[in-house]
Structure 1
Amino acid sequence: MAVLSLPLSFNNSFWSQDYRKGVEVLFQKLEQGVAENDEIVAFIRSRAVTETQMASSLSSPPTTAKGIGFGTDDGASLLMTFRGLQVEAASQGQAHLNIAKELESLVADPFDQWAQGYKARVRQSRTVVLDQWLKTYENSQGEVAKLKHQYLAKTRKADEAEDDAKFAPNQNGPNDDHYTTSPRLRPLDARGPPQRTASVSERIAARLKEIQKRAAGAAAAAEGKESKENLLEPESEKEKDLPTVDKGKGKAVEEISSPVNIGSPLALSPEAAKRDLPPLESPMPPMPPEPMLLAGLSLPPVAVSQLLTRAASELNLRPVRFPLLGEYQGCFTGEELVSWLNENVQGFGGSLDRAEDAARDLTERDGLLRRIGEFGNEFEHSDDAWYQFRPKAFELGTNNADALSPLSPAGATNKRAVQPENILKRTNNFVNLVSKALAANNSNEPTWVRARKEAEEADKNYRIAVRQLDRQRLGLEEKLEDTLKTLQRWEMERLRAVKTVLLQYQGTLSNVPKTLESIIERQTTLIAAYQPENDLTALIERYRTGSFRPDAQVYESISHDESDVVFGIDLRKWAEGGWITEVMSPDGSESSAGGNKEEVPEVLTAMLKALEEKYTEMANDDEKRKSWIYEVPLAGTHHLREVLNGVFPDHQRRKDKPVPEDLFKPYDAPVIAATIKLWLLELDPPVTMYEGWDEFRKLYPTHGRILTIEGEQSDDHDKKMAEVSNALMKLPRVHLYVLDRVVKHLKTLVDTTKTEEANEIYITKLALSIGRTVLRPKFETEISIQDRHPAREYSFLDILAISHDFV
């Protein structure tokens, strides 16, 4: 039996996990095709120029001077022969001139016009895909990352505030925290504590303390007298004599406690206890700084500071003088900064627009650059727009990043005063500043309650952003699918157009004299050997980046384990956490088993059941089998995916809300089968786990090791099945249940349908269609992409034969 393989196309070869890498590789090859078109046009025009020059030489022979040579011959046969050869040479020149005109007007010009349109379409598509769709998606990813960071930080802050409230003493004042209680330090009744008479030793100690207090009072009186005498001394000299403790920035000076104060016992009042206790330290490590997004590229603040430090050392910083404002040091233009970012930041991919967007973010959003000589702080990509680095640009991620003074003209002071102008400049809206202050002061809620509400609000925003990002990802995948199909059609049209223009070129040159017939024949053979379809296949095989591999965006919560989606889940968490749903009978009540749990997610059971019902509506068995083979557009599959994501999570949380019976009615069997494959493809990790890729790959080291080999001994077959069984035993139980449910359905389909196509061929097609949804590596590499040994397909064939009985 001939080995079947999945036909190669752009749609199953140029995907990547970040969606950008595969598309960039494809557009690079298409740009190479644009350059090939220009070279073909230049080659044909060069030949036309050569033909024109040859025609000019043949049509204008050198003239014969009178009185010498043929100019003195009166009619000899040599003269007639020579004149005839000149006429024939002129005729040949006219023939070459006609060839040159045909090459220009009938071959080069039409193809050049078509090639220019192709070039414009490719570059417009590149701009739309890379600079609009992907950039928007990457920016959304960065926003979701920020929201997740804020959610984690606010949750951590709320947890710490709750811990502080649990251990803080109650003040019993008008602003009591009624949410926590603390032990009282005194009894509530009026009786005083029991007292006893002092012993002899205690009375002696009390007498000694009284003598010490009198001595201390006399010393204090003497010091007061000396202080009156020192009132006229300079203030600087008195400060030198006093031992002080500077709290920093000259805010306060604290006197060193006397030995008497140091030796006194600690106060037992609530106020003193609260004042003397050291602050509680958080057991959790500090949160990492929030990443910064520059034109879709996420960088930590420290890396941004390092980048700007390097830019400050490599840019041509120079002083610039402005009328009435003065001279500013260390200035550079916006054009210089954009050019430097484009050359030194590889993550921008050489895109000047992304470098400009990054410079704009650094200036307008982050305030790391200062516009010189103009109002506002807008960024312009111009050679007459001047900027300075602010000091905080070099200290991001450090403790000094928030307490930096702005740059000023040379000779001005760097001291920053707290003025109304500065407050307005920072908030840009005085009304917002006042409203925020009033809202903060009028709130009577305890700190930990307010912090918990902020954490819940951040949790809600993060959840909504993740769902929106996942829907945006689905739309991006659908657009990329249509774009890849369109680009493949364009490339095939280009390759066929190239062959057409080469045939026209060959046909034009075939009109030359018979002496060139051998050359024409060899050119004909070369052009006939050119096959556009083979070239397209070779391009895909050489530069493919991987099959379709969706990266599902899933909401991750640290406070609860419930999932709000049924796609992109982790089966192990589903089995361990609260995601397991009870077995439900068709009428919505619990089954007779009572209290049993579903072995597999309910959405998979529902899709397989709906698919079995769709089989009964099909005309013949051949259509039933093709349901798993058809290539369904992503738009239909994503539509059913979103419907299931909106229905099943709500059904799992509320058992009294049954699943609609007509949920799958609008969808055909191929769409439901494709959605099952998408559900398997989005599982993280896959059914056979990422470690299973290496395990099953070892079982199929050579090409051609399939389930049944003609003449294979039973011992070899049993040994092979034992190896597959050992690999399956390493999988978690829930993964085996899911695999068993899918394989059981497929085996039933094969056994209950009869077609002219042999079962072995159909099962091989099933393996090509479903194998990568079951078995795939964690990261696609060039080795796994170019793997000539289809371990995924062969392993699936063996799993298809053994897994159900094994489970």
Structure 2
Amino acid sequence: MASSFSSSFWSGDYAGGLGVLFGKLQQGVQENQQVLTIARLRADAEELYGNKLGTITSATDNISGGFQRDEGASVRKAYEGVRTEMEAASQSHKKIASNIRELVINPFSRWCEAHAARVQNSQDDLQNRSKLHDRQAESVRKFRSQYYNKCRLVEDLEEEDKLAFQDPKNEAASPKLKAPALTVSEPEIEDEPVEIGDETYVPEHIKKILTHMLDNIKIGEVKVPILGTYQNVSNGADITEYIQKHMNASSVSYAERIGQDMVNNGFLRLIGNVGNTFANSSRMNYQWKTKVFQLTGIPERKQVLSRSTTVMSQDSIDSPVGAVSEYLQGWNPLNNPYPNETPSEKLRREARESDERYKASVRKLDSLRCNLEEAMIDHLKFMERCELDRLKAIKSVILDFSGAVSNVIPSLQSTVDKMMLFQETVQPFGDLRYLIESYQTGQFVPKVTTYENYYNSVDEHTFGVDLEARARSDRKRVPIIVTTLLTYLDNHYPELEGDDARRAIWLADVPLASSHHLRAQINTGKPFPHEILENYEIPVVASVLKLYLLELPDSLVSSHVYEIVKTIYSSTTAADASEDTRISVIQSTLGQLRLANIATLDAITTHFTRLIELTSAGETYVSMIAQNLAPCILRPRQESPLTMHERYAYRLLRDLFAHKEAIFGELKRASSLTQAHSAAITTRPRGPSTDESNRRANMEERQRAIASRSRASSPAPGSRPSTHRRDRSVGGPETRFPIQTSPIVGRRQDAAHRHSLEVPGSVEASPIATNGAAPPANGNSTTEDSSVSKRDSISRSTRFPRAGSLKQGGLARVANRDSAGSLGDDSQRPIGVQLEDKPMDD
């Protein structure tokens, strides 16, 4: 894939790459002015020279006598010939100046102005979009912080509820929780961004806007029959006029929408009419709410209460009784729109609302990011054409400049020939390629901001989610989106006409807007039907798969192994290493990846190797498809001027295509051997421990723990209730697993019901007790058995019997005992977790 503006000037913050590119484009605008300056000065110099040559004749005529007195002298004829040539040269130089202005300066200056305007308009548009994206990203971070804080408060409340409702038996020992005091606090001013119209304003900006509105909009009082007099009121026409004048509202309908948003956000309320609609009307009155005055700090005008009279008069209409009754109807001392809510319900509701705001802000940010990327692709392609046209225009200007001179003065042919040579040396495509290769900032790798659920759920998004998390949520080794898209393409390859059309779908230049449209349809975090894909062209489906791989947080072949891959293909080692050695090293390197990455890479490589084989693709196509897919498969951790020219990902893909069976077949065989080896290790018997350093301390600790229990003597064996709770052992790590000091008889019947809850290492949790064998005859376990029991219990679950404890704990000694029931052929019974290798074909 050839380098271009649309694939070479990307950066993580978008503004960095655009700054480099538009810096070079503005440099081109200045270069245009330099060319114009040369042409203007040359035209001025030619005109000045021509005028000076024209003054020579008049200057010689002022000398009396001389050649005027001789009529037929040859010297006079030569003199007059020189004068005539100078007059002709004067006209010629004036003609050159006129030609330069008409053929070069005038048309090129108009073109330069249009080119500078195109560059500036593109820069302003992309800069505004980038700023809007950055503001929304900041809002997302703020909403995310609010959401996480609310979730933490909900968790804290749940923990407090657990402590508040404890077992009545422990009520005396637990401290009493005081009921929280009910206090009436002042209403808090919201500290969250507010959407008004098409813009999102932070609280500081809202404060400035409201302050300016209160200072410039006419505010008064309005009498409403029956209801009374309202203070701090403005009509809809005045508010609309202000919005159009100061808030850049392009139309009355847009101004009304801004006013409606102010009503919805609690800044205004409609009085004297039913509803809460904003309209551009002088008869519609809106009262500024108390929230506005609290936010701006401007004192609020309140109506003075007057004494009521018993006499019915005309002034009784002005009584504030209506306003007071309306105020009492909405009386809410807690300033809470949900007066019957409990604190826990309020917290949970606020957590849900903050979650919804966070989700909505992430969706809006994702939409803005996609729009920004689409606009960048369009503008960068347009700017590339403009820059190429500029270079061609300079080439034409030089040609026109030489023509303007050569058409008038043939004697300057040598100068003209040199200028023609200079014109031939201008190579627009070469200069454009030099600009890209010298100043490119990075390839197109979109940075996705995903919704991060507090409880680690990934069911909201598909794109931009970690590959392993996506596969784990799908319960597949390969994410469902990858298998769905590849299966859809496999099913539709036969519908295309010819192998060329099948191969071309992966190299087609699909508009980013089309890819984003399909991405929005399937970016739900859930499986999607094939019917959605039927509405799009097949190249669009293929481009969405590449877009999914590009939007992964880490490349499919992790960037952590980029340096290893670089070493494999470096010039110093590749020359000495054979192909078999290189493939072996590649296989071992890919073996370090996570299972989901290996399985997905295997599925994609299988798809392309089959496509190459079935369509009989040549070397040229294989090279092009590898170069096109290289950024999707392997990317460095940090893009730099050095990594932008490296081709290690391309070479890795070529090896994967050429040696797919050898690499992935060896990976599967290595996985099977590793799991078999792990299973053999789990069944290997452990050697006896000879460490007796802590035995006496452990026994004393155990005796103190038993003596410290404040309960009656232990009942007879077998009568212990199944709900008995074993106290937690105390002491350091060496005493975590208590040592059995006395035989416990009769506990066999309870072990089947609670062996998984026993302390690891105790006799009742051992496989012998579980299988019905009696403990050793003496009171204490042997040194060898106790130490083995201690060591084997470390970091192992007691849910599965251990092969080491079965062999060391006396299974050979009690195999023939039948006093507690025959063990049967336990040596052939599978013990522990059975590991098996599942194929990576889903």
Scaled by the length of structure 2, the TM-score of the pair is 0.60
Out of 675, 678, 688, the residue aligned to residue 547 of structure 2 is 678
Residue 37 (structure 1) aligned with residue 18 (structure 2) = no
Deviation at 1:426, TM superposition (A): 4.7
| Equivalent residue number for residue 474 of structure 2 | 580
Query: Which structure has more RCO (C-alpha within 8 Å, separation ≥ 6)?
Result: 1
| Equivalent residue number for residue 595 of structure 2 | 733
Query: Unpaired segments of 5 or more residues in structure 1?
Result: 1-5, 169-179, 188-265, 278-289, 294-356, 382-418, 582-597, 652-658, 706-711
| Equivalent residue number for residue 135 of structure 2 | 139
| Equivalent residue number for residue 81 of structure 2 | 84
Out of 67, 70, 76, the residue aligned to residue 70 of structure 1 is 67
| Equivalent residue number for residue 152 of structure 1 | 148
| Equivalent residue number for residue 15 of structure 1 | 10
Out of 649, 671, 682, the residue aligned to residue 792 of structure 1 is 649
Does the 8 Å contact 2:587/2:664 carry over to 1?
A: no
Deviation at 1:52, TM superposition (A): 0.5
- The SS at the match of 1:684 is coil
Q: Hey, what's the Cα distance between the residues in 1 that align with 2:443 and 2:378? A: 15
Q: Which amino acid aligns with 1:683?
A: L
| Equivalent residue number for residue 723 of structure 1 | 585
Q: Hey, what's the Cα distance between the residues in 2 that align with 1:704 and 1:784? A: 19
Residue 47 (structure 1) aligned with residue 47 (structure 2) = no
Deviation at 1:572, TM superposition (A): 2.2
Q: Hey, what's the Cα distance between the residues in 2 that align with 1:674 and 1:67? A: 89
Q: Which amino acid aligns with 2:147?
A: Y
- The SS at the match of 1:662 is helix
Q: Deviations over 1:525-559 (max 9, x none)?
A: 12101111111111111111111111122110112
Taking a change above 3 Å as real, the CA distance of residues 464 and 435 of structure 1, as seen in their structure-2 partners, is farther
Deviation at 1:181, TM superposition (A): 6.3
Deviation at 1:274, TM superposition (A): 3.3
Q: Hey, what's the Cα distance between the residues in 2 that align with 1:148 and 1:546? A: 29
Does the 8 Å contact 1:16/1:546 carry over to 2?
A: yes
Q: Deviations over 1:268-315 (max 9, x none)?
A: 995xx73999xxxxxxxxxxxx9999xxxxxxxxxxxxxxxxxxxxxx
- The SS at the match of 2:514 is helix
| Equivalent residue number for residue 95 of structure 1 | 92
| Equivalent residue number for residue 521 of structure 1 | 417
Deviation at 1:367, TM superposition (A): 7.3
Taking a change above 3 Å as real, the CA distance of residues 375 and 183 of structure 1, as seen in their structure-2 partners, is farther
| Equivalent residue number for residue 327 of structure 1 | none
Q: Hey, what's the Cα distance between the residues in 2 that align with 1:65 and 1:439? A: 104
Deviation at 1:513, TM superposition (A): 4.1
Does the 8 Å contact 1:15/1:547 carry over to 2?
A: yes
| Equivalent residue number for residue 531 of structure 2 | 662
Pairs within 5 Å for 1:389-788: 423=294, 426=297, 437-440=333-336, 443-511=339-407, 513-576=409-472, 579-581=473-475, 598-646=476-524, 649-651=525-527, 659-702=528-571, 716-754=578-616, 758=618, 760-785=619-644, 787=645
Q: Hey, what's the Cα distance between the residues in 2 that align with 1:508 and 1:117? A: 24
Deviation at 1:10, TM superposition (A): 0.7
Q: Deviations over 1:615-671 (max 9, x none)?
A: 11111112111222222111221122122224xx344xxxxxxx4342222223222
Does the 8 Å contact 1:165/1:448 carry over to 2?
A: no
Q: Hey, what's the Cα distance between the residues in 1 that align with 2:347 and 2:112? A: 62
- The SS at the match of 1:608 is helix
- The SS at the match of 1:616 is helix
Q: Hey, what's the Cα distance between the residues in 2 that align with 1:690 and 1:629? A: 25
Does the 8 Å contact 2:153/2:347 carry over to 1?
A: yes
Out of 20, 23, 26, the residue aligned to residue 21 of structure 2 is 26
- The SS at the match of 2:127 is helix
Q: Which amino acid aligns with 1:743?
A: T
Deviation at 1:11, TM superposition (A): 1.0
Q: Deviations over 1:733-786 (max 9, x none)?
A: 11000000000011111111125xx2x32221121011110100222112212x
Q: Deviations over 1:705-729 (max 9, x none)?
A: 6xxxxxx99x711111111112101
Does the 8 Å contact 2:515/2:540 carry over to 1?
A: yes
Q: Which amino acid aligns with 1:85?
A: V
Q: Which amino acid aligns with 1:567?
A: F
Does the 8 Å contact 1:470/1:553 carry over to 2?
A: yes
Taking a change above 3 Å as real, the CA distance of residues 704 and 531 of structure 1, as seen in their structure-2 partners, is farther
Out of 112, 117, 125, the residue aligned to residue 115 of structure 1 is 112
Q: Which amino acid aligns with 2:21?
A: L
Higher mean C-alpha deviation, range 696-705 or range 672-681: 696-705
Q: Hey, what's the Cα distance between the residues in 1 that align with 2:601 and 2:297? A: 59
Q: Hey, what's the Cα distance between the residues in 1 that align with 2:15 and 2:588? A: 38
Does the 8 Å contact 1:49/1:100 carry over to 2?
A: yes
Taking a change above 3 Å as real, the CA distance of residues 425 and 89 of structure 1, as seen in their structure-2 partners, is closer
Taking a change above 3 Å as real, the CA distance of residues 745 and 113 of structure 1, as seen in their structure-2 partners, is same
Out of 648, 661, 664, the residue aligned to residue 804 of structure 1 is 664
- The SS at the match of 1:734 is helix
Query: Unpaired segments of 5 or more residues in structure 2?
Result: 182-189, 194-198, 218-241, 247-289, 303-325, 669-842
Q: Which amino acid aligns with 1:83?
A: E
Q: Which amino acid aligns with 1:146?
A: K
| Equivalent residue number for residue 674 of structure 2 | none
Number of positions where the alignment pairs a residue of Structure 1 with one of Structure 2? 557
Q: Which amino acid aligns with 2:88?
A: S
Taking a change above 3 Å as real, the CA distance of residues 520 and 137 of structure 1, as seen in their structure-2 partners, is same
Deviation at 1:682, TM superposition (A): 1.1
Q: Hey, what's the Cα distance between the residues in 2 that align with 1:634 and 1:487? A: 17
Q: Which amino acid aligns with 1:804?
A: F
Does the 8 Å contact 1:64/1:71 carry over to 2?
A: no
Does the 8 Å contact 1:628/1:766 carry over to 2?
A: yes
Q: Hey, what's the Cα distance between the residues in 2 that align with 1:33 and 1:435? A: 68
Q: Which amino acid aligns with 2:632?
A: T
Q: Calculate percent identity across the aligned residue pairs.
A: 30
Q: Which amino acid aligns with 2:127?
A: L
| Equivalent residue number for residue 178 of structure 2 | 274
Q: Which amino acid aligns with 2:547?
A: L
Does the 8 Å contact 1:15/1:22 carry over to 2?
A: yes
- The SS at the match of 2:571 is coil
Q: Which amino acid aligns with 2:616?
A: K
Q: Hey, what's the Cα distance between the residues in 2 that align with 1:375 and 1:47? A: 58
Higher mean C-alpha deviation, range 503-512 or range 434-443: 434-443
Does the 8 Å contact 2:462/2:470 carry over to 1?
A: no
Deviation at 1:468, TM superposition (A): 2.2
Q: Provide the aligned C-alpha RMSD in A.
A: 3.9
| Equivalent residue number for residue 203 of structure 1 | none
- The SS at the match of 2:474 is coil
Q: Hey, what's the Cα distance between the residues in 2 that align with 1:727 and 1:33? A: 46
Q: Which amino acid aligns with 2:513?
A: A
Q: Which amino acid aligns with 1:728?
A: L
| Equivalent residue number for residue 298 of structure 1 | none
